[in-house]
Amino acid sequence: MSTLDSLPILPDDLQGASLVVPSSASSSTTPAGNPVSSPPAPFPDDSDARRASREKDAESGQKPTSPAQPAGSWPGRRGPNKRDSQSPTSRSTEPGKSRDVVRETELPLAAFELESSSAESGTGEASQTELFETNPPPWELAVEDDVLLASIVFSRSPHGPYDYRIPDSLREELKPGMRVGVPLGHRKKPTPGWCVAVKEGKAAHRKLRDVAECIDESPLCDASLVRLVMWMAHYYQVPAGQVFDTLIPSSVRSAAGTKQTTYFTPAKEVTDTVIDKLPAKQQAVMRHLVSANRSMTSAELAVAASCTEDPIRRLKKKGLIVPEVRREMHSGIRILAQTNDGEADRTHELTEQQTAALERINVAVDSGRGRTLLLHGVTGSGKTEVYIRAIEHVVSQAGSAIVMVPEISLTPQTRGRFESRFPSVAVLHSQMSPSERHFHWQRIRRGEVQVVIGPRSAVFAPLPNLGLIVLDEEHDTSFKQDSQPRYHARKVAHARAMSLGIPLLLGSATPSMEAWHATQSGHAELISMPDRVAGRPMPDVQLVDLRVRDDRAGGGAISRPLKQAVDETLREKGQAILLLNRRGFATTIQCPACGHVVACPDCDMPLTHHRDGGKAMCHYCDYTIGTPPWCPACRFDGIRYGGLGTQKLEVEAKAKFPDAKIARMDGDTMKRPGSHQRVLSEFRSGEIDILLGTQMIAKGLDFPNVLLVGVINADSALHFPDFRAAERTFQLVTQVAGRTGRGDRGGRVIVQTFTPEHPAIQAASRHDYFKFVEEEMVNRRKFNYPPLGSVARIIIRGPVEEKTEDVADSILARLESARDLLKSEVRILGPAPPPIVRLRGKYRFHLLLQATDSAVVGEVIRRALADFKTDPKEEIEYLIDIDPVNLL
């Protein structure tokens, strides 16, 4: 089954569920994490006389006195300086048995209220011994049983969810999707948490703590986004509080770019008679405020009444004006200009293939149900124009859309195309300032935006009337988050679209194996556009075998055929793109005398030499030192710099093409906001002749004057120990080849490789996606790799290798036990060191789980690790990666 559709969109208990749960579905946990059971039977010696005594006390209005504590029992309350080593609710209370810990709780001991806790009841028999009175006293029976509860989750341990009582003052204010402050343990200040549900419940037999405050004035997530968070927490096995923190940007949570402003309105009892008795300045202030018929700030009042703020303060002290504090965006916020990269607005009549594709998408939009569509169009077939026309259809029905692109470099071009067709477009990406991101997020939330454009985080845009989600270049691995929660934007977009009953449109010239298999298995609909716009041919691809000495250029990165092609392109006033997916100058620094390799002390990886700044740095943890002039081990001064990066390629290109203007786009040069837009604008205007860089220049860019594309080394990712290595190589070569031949002058591609006979490179040279998929599916079927099966990865990391491996072995044993208990067919590989054994100072081991159904894999992991904990002193942690795309 395809990993795209192998799991229900929402768990059964969340499918279409209202967030207000009836009292019969009350939570099974208290705010302190205590299990709730029905009131157990009283003590065996609880005689009728004792019950009569309680009833008599109730009639007289006195509280009944508790019986003396039995010897050796716990007191009803702790002393101020005492802590029990174990929670009473985690001990066995059956007669004749020791009180062993049966369940660990994540909460501090102070979170327990012993007088209202109930021990875990086994059979509920009257013979069970209780340590303290658990029946509610009579004066509490008169209290209304049904109370309003809030289910709260936290981003830090303990994660919840836990139930809290909603006080009367917050009943109308508190809604799901809001942040609240609640008491937790001994902490003096309220702990912030997220409300995921409001429900009715019975609290007569337990003591609930109240919600202390509402942090937000209104919910930051609507009901559908709250359900999406709960699905992500379930599927990706991460705490819901961490998912909320990912979904809501930190700039929104911190209210970046806002300030508190006090507005004044006249008090209700103010009359003309009262105003006439005031001093002249105060009269002027009051008359301006009354005549304005709106709230005004003190600065506005001072200007209108031509006075200082002293009369305003005196009026406030007299109670004649009422202050109201509001948090709003301040006017000094700096918003970057929303301009494109200089692309001309080219409109044309749709081709027959585009028209047919648009009609099918519009039918899906009008159907009112969730559907997944895959638009498979070759590079230059006009997929973006189809997206725009489809969104125009959505907007005409008062809807809105999300468009996700894989790289920030694509954002200026995509934004420019959409802004020329839609009056209200918002962009979300990581290079925006916090205040700018918050500004656009609030616009989106208020429904002022028609189209949201951005990378993977745009899938969470809080559009109130979402009608279509577009995932352009859906095959790209950057749509997978590489930190917790490790979600895939395609999977999350699918879940959100199906939950809302709207279409999800995937687009790519080289669809992922998962998306393609979904179309073949009936889980998605295939829409094909096999021809380029205006009948333009696909570019010719020439393979250069770097094993042939005559083609290599004396140790340089640019071969003779590629140099000749670049020279011809420059003579024809065309432009060229050179791709090398390695940044830096040299990828290794090695001593030829003793063989020592300068490596990162925290990672098992060599440092990369960067000529900019004369530094050597680790690309995994950013450890940086000055480039050593001699060998650190033997002091030999003839140290060598090996390997090839974009900086070295730039130096070589400038030497071989001295008259050409050359620009480099990689992670080192594109750090400043607006840098992508500046370089692409110069390239489009013809100021740059050769653009070289990493994979960020290989996707989606449309430059009609590009006549040549050169791939410096097509083998850079081909031989990685990853079953997706061939797929990534094919996609990268095909995508970068599609950047040429988009104008009337045609184009050509030169691919340099040491393995030209590899099926992935052969298929890419012929633009033959179907041949590649056919051969690759045979390889995947041998081991049931995705999309024919599901894979999950558990990464264990710690500072001591032996102890880390012991924890990995423990996890393996629990996984095998859970698999046997569930009687499921799950293949477990490992634990074994991954290709990168040590990363950021931590030794690493990983386990792989394979099965035909992702739900089975998830349930095995959930059962095995539900109560698994590591010793905090050993600093060993484990991470769960569902549907991993990187096995390094």
Per-residue pLDDT tens over the stretch 772-790:
999 999 999 988 899 999 9
Over the stretch 581-634, which tens digit does the pLDDT of each residue have?
888 888 888 888 888 888 888 888 888 888 877 888 888 888 888 888 888 888
Query: How confident is the model at residue 341, as a pLDDT?
Result: 52
Count of beta carbons in the 10 Å neighbourhood of residue 574: 20
Q: What is the pLDDT of residue 805?
A: 93
pLDDT band at 262 (very low <50, low <70, confident <90, very high): confident
| Higher pLDDT pick, 340 / 185 | 185
pLDDT of 109 strictly over 80:
no
Residue 794 bridge partners (DSSP)? 847, 880
pLDDT of residue 745: 78
Q: What is the pLDDT of residues 507-562, one digit of tens each?
A: 999 999 999 999 999 999 999 998 888 778 888 889 988 888 776 666 688 888 89
Measured over the CA atoms of residue 486, residue 491, residue 492 and residue 493, the dihedral's sign is positive
Question: Is 80 exceeded by the pLDDT of residue 578?
Answer: yes
What distance in Å separates the CA atoms of residue 711 and residue 755, rounded to the nearest whole number?
Answer: 13
pLDDT of residue 203: 59
Give the integer Cα–Cα distance in Å for 784 and 663: 44
- Residue 409: its pLDDT value, please? 61
Flag the least confident range among 291-305, 341-355, 424-438, 635-649.
Answer: 341-355
User: How much is the pLDDT for 399?
Assistant: 92
Give 429-450 pLDDT, tens digit per residue: 777 778 888 888 888 998 899 9
Say what the pLDDT of residue 555 is: 66
C-alpha distance across the termini of the chain, in Å: 25
Q: Is 163 helix (H, G, I), strand (E, B) or coil?
A: strand
Taking residues 204-208, report their average pLDDT: 66
pLDDT digits (tens, 9 = 90+) for 53-95: 444 444 444 444 433 333 333 333 333 443 343 333 333 333 3
pLDDT exceeds 90 at position 250: no
Contacts of 359 (CB under 8 A, 6+ apart): none
**Cα→Cα distances 415→405, 408, 426, 469, 498, Å:** 10, 11, 8, 16, 26
pLDDT at 524: 94
83 Cα distance to chain centroid: 40
User: Given this model, what pLDDT does residue 685 score?
Assistant: 85
pLDDT of 159 > 60? The answer is yes
Burial grade of 579 (CB within 10 A; 0-12, 13-18, 19 or more): buried
Q: What is the pLDDT of residue 96?
A: 36
More confident residue, 99 or 157: 157
Q: Which of 182-186, 553-557, 743-747, 773-777 has the highest mean pLDDT?
A: 773-777
pLDDT at 343: 57
**671/110 Cα distance (integer angstroms):** 47
SS3 category, 686: coil
Which is it for strands 608-610 and 790-798: parallel, antiparallel or unpaired?
Answer: unpaired
**CB atoms closer than 10 angstroms to residue 872:** 8
Q: What distance in Å separates the CA atoms of residue 357 and residue 384, rounded to the nearest whole number?
A: 12
pLDDT at 803: 92
> Quick one: pLDDT at residue 706?
87
Q: From 434, 422, 512, select the one nearest 468 (Cα to Cα).
A: 422
pLDDT above 50 (res 179): yes
The residues pairing with 721 across neighbouring beta strands, listed in sequence order, are: none
Q: How confident is the model at residue 793 (pLDDT cuts 50, 70, 90)?
A: very high
Least confident of 144-153, 693-702, 801-810: 693-702
Q: Which of 36-40, 340-344, 519-523 has the highest mean pLDDT?
A: 519-523
- Distances 752 to 190, 555, 563, 574, 772 between C-alpha atoms, Å: 61, 14, 12, 21, 19
Question: Are 140 and 204 in contact, with CB atoms under 8 Å apart?
Answer: yes
pLDDT-based confidence at 51, cuts 50/70/90?
very low
**Do 183 and 91 form a contact (C-beta atoms < 8 A)?**
no
Query: How sure is the predictor about 400, in pLDDT bands with cuts at 50, 70 and 90?
Result: very high
Say how many residues make up the chain: 888
| Residue with token string 């506005």 | 300
Location of structure tokens 């060599």: 606
Closest CA to 171 of 194, 188, 148, 193: 148
The pLDDT value recorded for residue 39 is 35
Which residues face 555 on adjacent strands? Answer: none
More confident residue, 661 or 33: 661
User: Is pLDDT of 105 > 80?
Assistant: no
So what's the pLDDT on residue 407? 73
In 357-373, which positions are buried (b, 16+ CB within 10 angstroms) versus exposed (e)?
A: bbebbbebbeeeebbbb
Between 646 and 130, the higher pLDDT residue: 646
**What is the model's pTM?**
0.76
pLDDT at 857 over 90: yes
Give tens-digit pLDDT for 380-399: 888 989 999 999 999 999 99
**Which of 196-205, 311-320, 476-485 has the lowest average pLDDT?**
196-205
pLDDT of residue 329: 61
- Tell me the C-alpha distance between 863 and 843, whole Å: 26
Model confidence at 106, pLDDT cuts 50, 70, 90, reads very low
Reduce the DSSP state of residue 833 to 3 states and report it. Answer: coil
Which of 425, 342, 437 lies closest to 387 in space, CA to CA?
Answer: 425
- Predicted confidence (pLDDT) at residue 403 exceeds the cutoff of 70: yes
Provide, rounded to the nearest whole percent, the portion of the chain with pLDDT above 70: 79
Instruction: Tokens for 448, please give them.
Output: 């002022």
pLDDT computed for residue 867 by the predictor: 86
pLDDT tens digits, residue range 862-872?
A: 999 988 988 88
Asked if pLDDT for residue 319 goes beyond 90, the answer is no
Q: Is the pLDDT of residue 235 over 90?
A: yes
Q: What is the pLDDT of residue 344?
A: 57
pLDDT at res. 408: 67
pLDDT for 468 beyond 60: yes
What's the rounded Cα separation, in Å, for the pair 115 and 136? 10
In contact, 190 and 131? CB cutoff 8 Å: no
